[in-house]
Structure 1
Amino acid sequence: MVIAGSALAGCSNADQKPAASADAGSSKSGEAITLTFETSLYAEAPHKKAIDALISKYNQLNPNVKITVHGADYENFWDKLTTEVIAGTQGDIVQVYPENISTYNSLVDGGAFVNLDPYIKGKDLEKKLVGQELSKIGDSYYAISNYAWGNTGIFYRKSLFKKAGIDPDSIKTLEDFKNAAVKLGVDTDGDGKLDQYGFASVVGSHPFVASEWYRLVARPVSGGIFFPDGESGPYKADRINVNSEANVWAAKWWQDFINNPRATPPGTRDKKVGREMFWNGQAAMNMDGPWFIGMTKERDPKLMDDLGLMPQPAIEYNGKTYKPNPHTNPSVAMISKKSKHPEEAWKFLEWMTSEEAQQMIAGSGMIPSNKNYVATDAYKKDNPLAVKFMDYLNNLYAPAVMDPPIPEQGTLSQIIINTAQDIFVGKKDPKASLDEAAAKMKEAFK
C-alpha cells in the first residue's frame, strides 16, 4: 500500500526535538490533530487487535488526537519504508527493530528521525524498558522500546509428538532436533506421498530463509553472520565474517537438513505458509517467537491445548557445545523529523509504556517491554507460555546477538538474504556462495 503524501506531509527544522514531556491529554492548543503510525506488525491479526485497542483507549483519553495506522506485511514493509524516508513521506511514528534505526535515519542528510535524548536519558524509561539500550545511534537515543519483545524457540504439536513417540524434553542438541524432524515426516494416509513434515522451515524468497538458518545454526557457532565476536565492532570490511569456516559448516548443515524430504516441506515460500501447515497438522514443529502464541489463539483457540514450546537446541561443533543466542527482537518506535506534531507523537509513545497500555500489548502474544509489568504475578499467571521465553533467555541461552547497528546494515542484510536463497533454494555450493557474499559485503564499505 502506498501512503498518500498529503497524509504525512509536514515541515520541520532538521534539528527539531520534542518539547518537554507532558501527561496524556489534549494538545496545548486543544486543536484536532492526526498522527500517522507505520508498522509492519499491523498485518498480523494479534498485533492489529492490540494496536487498535491502544489507539482506541488513547483516543478516549485524548479526544482531539486521531491516530491512523499504515503499513505492509513484513516482506514488503522495508522497501516501502526506504522509498518513503527518501521522499520524506514516512509516518509521524515509525515502528522498526533496533538494527534498522541507523539504516533508515541515514537515508537523508542530517537524519530522518528525532533525537529522543531529552525524554529518555537519565529518566526511568532508560532502565525499565527491555532493549532500550539498543535504540541508539552513537550515544543518543533515536527510538523508544515501548511495545514488546521476544526471542525464538521451537513450537511443537503435542499430539503429533505423542503419536510419534517423541519426548520433547529429550531434544537437547541440533542433531536431536534433526532426528525428531525426520521421524515426524510421514505418509499419514498411505498414498505413498509425504503429507506431514517435521519442521515448517521457510524455503523461498522471504527474508526468513536466511534468518532461520543463522538464528538456529550459524550465529551460535560463528559468533556472527556479518562480524565476529557477537556482531561487535569495529565495523570494517576486513572483519566481515560471513564466509568463516563455522558459517560455511552451518550453511552446509542447514542445506542438507532442508533438502531432507521428511524434515521440511519443499517450497515453503514464506513464513505464513509454514505457520498454516503447523496449524493444519501438516508440520509438527515451527520456529517462532512469543507472538506466535497470540497468532495461534487468534487462528483457533482450541489449538492452544496442543501447543507446546521447547528452547532452541544447543549445537555441537568441532568438539564444543554452543548455546543458542537468538536476539531479543524488541519493537521500537521513532518520530519523524517531518512530523507536524512531534510533542503529541511523544506523548502517545510514552503512554504506551504504562501498565494500562502494556496490558493491552500483552494480547499480541509478545512480551511487553515494561520490565515492571512483566514481573507481576498477574502477567505470569495469564501468560505461562510467554514466561517460558524469559526462562530460556535467563537459563538456557547465551547472550543475545543482534544485527550490527550501522547504516550499511540494510545492504548487508539484503546480500545475506540473496545468498541464502542461492544456497537453500537454488542449492548452490555454500562456500562459493558465502565467499561471493563476503566480497559484496566488503564492497558496501567502500
Structure 2
Amino acid sequence: MVDRNRKKKGWTALIAAAVTLSTVLSACSGGKEPASASNAPSDGDPITISFETSVYAEEPHKKAIDALIAKYNETHPNVTIKVHGTDYENYWDKLTTEILAGTQGDIVQVYPENIATYNALQSGGTFVNLDEKIQASGLEDKLVGQELSKVDGSYYALSNYAWGSTGIFYSKSMFEAAGIDPASIQTMDDFKEAAIQLGGVKDGQYGFSSVIGTHPFIASEWYRLLARPVSGGIYFPDGEAGPYEADRINVNSAPNVWAAEWWQDLIKNPQATPPGTRDKKVSREMFWNGQAGMMMDGPWFIGMTKERDEALMDDLGLMPQPSVVYEGQTYKPNPHNYPIVSMISKDSKHPDEAWEFLEWMTSREAQQIIAGSGMIPSSKEYAESEEYKTENPLAAQFFDFQENVYAPAVMDPPIPELGSLSQILINAAQEMFVGMKDAKTALDSAAEQMKDTMH
C-alpha cells in the first residue's frame, strides 16, 4: 500500500503555475459547462467510461477494482470501464497535465484535500457539482468521509470506495516479554514509557519504529500523534479551518512548539526509537522482523502483514492512538480520515452513466468487493455489520476508534497552496528531528515561509 501522505514535491510548482494559468484563462472564457445528459447513449448502446485512480498499481486495489467492474458488467454489459492512472508517486503530476489538456478521466479518484486544487485547474471548475445527485440518492449521511467532499459548500465528490485512519500496531509477544499491558497505554506519556521499556529488553530492540529521515512521514507522524490534537491545526487553527490567510498561520503556536520538543525527546532516546535515516518501508520491516514493538499505520497494514507472512497475524495487536495531555488538559486524538473519493469530469460525454456506476459502488454487493482492497468500505452500514466485523476483526477496530474514541478528524486545508505549505513543514521537521534544531527557531522560520506562500 502507498503511504497516505499527499505532500509531493514534484507537483507543487506545476500546480501553482497551472492555477495561475487557469486564472488568466478565466478572464477570457466563461468556463466549461457540464456535459449534457441528453448527449448520452440510450440504454443498451455501447459506451466507454474512463476511470482514473492512483491506487490501481497496488495489487489489492487492482483486484478489487477489476472485480467491481466485472460485477457491474453483469447487469451493464454495454458499459466498458477503462481504468488508467499510474503509480502513486507520479499520479498527481500526470493528473495536473491531463486536466490542463482536458484529457482527464470521466471518473477521477482523489482524496478530499485534493478536490479544491484540481477543481481550480480549469476555468469554471474541472468537475461536476454533485449536490443534486447526492441529496437525491439519500447517501449524504451514509458514507464515511462524505462531509469532507465539499468545496465552497457544494459536493464535488462521492465517498463511495473506502477509507482508512491510523492507529498503533503492536507486537503481542514483545509486549508480553516486556510485561506491558496494551490497555495501560492511554496517553502519549504512557506510550513513551512503553517505548522505552520495550527497547530496554535486549540490544537491537526498540519501542517504536518512527520515520526519521527525508520521507514526508517525518512530519506527519509527529503532527498527527501530538501537534494537531493540542493545537487544533498545524497550518491553521480551529481544525484547519478558514479563512486561509497569512496572519492565521498556526505552525509556530505554543502547543505545536511543545509537541515538537516532546517528539525530539522521544526520538533521541536510544531505547525508544532506532537511529538512522529510514522511510516507512524500513519501519514496517523493523516491526515485522521483531526489531520494534510498535508502529503507527492504517488498516492497509493488516493486509500487508498477511501478505508478508500470514504467521505474523497471530502476533499483531492494534490500539487507538493515545490521547495527549498538555498543560493539565487531555486532548483526544484526531487523526486523518483517508476516504478515497470519486469525481466526475465536466468534460465527460457520459456523466449520468458515470454517476450510475459511482452510486452502484455504494451498494452492499460492491462494498463487499471493496473490502478486499485492504481499506475499510465507505458504507457505514456495511462497515458496522457483523459480517464485516467477523471477516475483518482488526480492521473493524478502526471503525470503532473513529466512532467512539477519536475526536472528529482534522484534515489538511483544502487549498491550492497546500503542496507548498507541506513541503515547508517537511523541511522544518527534518531540521528538528534529524538535525535536532531548536523547535521554536525551526517553526518560527517555517511560519514566515508559510506566510510568504499565502501572500
Q: With the length of structure 1 as denominator, give the TM-score of the two structures.
A: 0.88
* Contact 2:46 2:80 (C-alpha < 8 Å) held by counterparts: no
1:118 to 109, 132, 138: 132
SS of the aligned residue for 1:277 comes to: helix
Structure 1 429/157 Cα, relative in aligned 2: closer, same or farther at 3 Å?
same
Query: Alpha-carbon deviation of 1:202?
Result: 1.6
Say if 1:82 and 1:374 are closer, same or farther in 2 by CA, change over 3 A.
same
Q: Contact conserved, 1:18 with 1:116, CA < 8 A, in 2?
A: no
**Cα pair distance change 1:443/1:302, threshold 3 Å:** same
Displacement after TM superposition at 1:312 (Å): 0.8
Checking the alignment, whether the CA contact within 8 Å between 1:81 and 1:90 is kept in structure 2 is yes
Residue among 196, 203, 228 paired with 1:219: 228
Q: Counterpart of 2:335?
A: 326
- In 2, Cα distance between the equivalents of 1:306 and 1:161? 10
Shift of the 311–381 alpha-carbon distance from structure 1 to 2, 3 Å rule, reads same
Aligned CA distance change for structure 1 residues 52 and 167 (closer, same or farther; 3 Å): same
CA deviation vs aligned residue, 1:143-167 (integer Å, no higher than 9, x gap): 1000112221101111111122211
Match of 2:17 in 1: none
1:398 corresponds in structure 2 to: 407
Q: Equivalent residues in 2 for 1:288-327 (5 A)?
A: 288-327=297-336
Q: Deviation of residue 218 (structure 1)?
A: 0.4
Partner amino acid for 1:294? G
Give the match for residue 52 of structure 2: 37
CA 1:46–1:295 in structure 2 vs 1: closer, same or farther (change >3 Å)?
farther
Q: In 2, Cα distance between the equivalents of 1:283 and 1:71?
A: 35
In structure 2, what is the equivalent of residue 285 of structure 1? 294
Question: How much has 1:271 moved relative to structure 2?
Answer: 1.8
Determine the structure 1 residue equivalent to 2:25.
none
User: Residues 178 and 17 (structure 1 numbering): CA distance in 2 closer, same or farther, change over 3 Å?
Assistant: farther
C-alpha spacing 1:164/1:112, structure 2 compared with 1 (3 Å): same
Task: Tell me the residue number matched to 2:156.
Answer: 142
CA deviation string 1:76-119 (max 9, x = no partner): 43344334433434333221111111012112322222222231
Per-residue CA deviations over 1:229-256 (Å, capped at 9, x if unaligned) read 2112222211111110111111122123
Q: Distance in 1 between matches of 2:161 and 2:67?
A: 13
Whole-angstrom CA distance in 2 between matches of 1:207 and 1:345: 34
Among 33, 37, 51, the residue aligned to 1:15: 33
Partners of 1:311 and 1:279 in 2: how far apart? 19
Distance between the aligned counterparts of 1:100 and 1:195, measured in 2?
41
Structure 2 contact 165–299 (Cα < 8 Å) conserved: yes
Within 2, Cα distance between the matches of 1:423 and 1:66? 51
- Is 1:442 aligned to 2:442, yes or no? no
The 1:63–1:83 alpha-carbon spacing in structure 2 relative to 1, beyond 3 Å, is same
Q: 1:73 deviation in Å?
A: 4.5
- The letter of the residue matching 2:199 is G
Distance 2:266 2:201 in 1: 19
Question: CA distance change for structure 1 residues 157 and 47 in 2, over 3 Å: closer, same or farther?
Answer: farther
Q: Deviations 1:234-281 (Å, cap 9, x if unpaired)?
A: 222111111101111111221232233322233453222222222222
Equivalent residues of 2:49, 2:106 under 8 A apart: no
Seen in structure 2, the aligned counterparts of structure 1 residues 63 and 268 have a Cα distance that, compared at 3 Å, is farther
Distance 1:92 1:261, change over 3 A: farther
SS at match of 2:141: helix
The 5 A counterparts of 1:25-424 are 28=43, 30-39=45-54, 41-185=55-199, 194-424=203-433
Q: CA deviation at 1:397?
A: 1.8
In structure 1, C-alpha distance between the alignment counterparts of 2:305 and 2:229, rounded to whole Å: 28
Match of 1:10 in 2: none
Q: What's the CA shift for 1:341? A: 3.3
Q: Which runs of 5+ in 2 are unaligned?
A: 1-30
Q: Which moved more, 1:28-37 or 1:402-411?
A: 28-37
What's the counterpart of residue 21 of structure 2? none
Whole-angstrom CA distance in 2 between matches of 1:52 and 1:197: 40
TM-fit CA distance, 1:168: 0.8
* AA at the equivalent of 1:363: G
Q: Is the 8 A contact 2:211 2:283 kept in 1?
A: yes
Taking every aligned residue pair, what percent have the same amino acid on both sides? 69
TM-score (norm 2): 0.86
Distance 1:204 1:69, change over 3 A: farther
SS of 1:78 mapped into structure 2: helix
Tell me, what secondary structure is at the counterpart of 2:334?
coil
Q: Tell me which moved more, 415-424 or 163-172.
A: 415-424
Aligned counterparts of 2:83 and 2:431: Cα–Cα separation in 1: 35
Which letter maps to 1:16? P
Contact 1:38-1:91 within 8 A present in 2 as well: no
CA RMSD of aligned residues (A): 2.4
Distance 1:91 1:273, change over 3 A: farther
Distance 1:84 1:274 in 2: 35
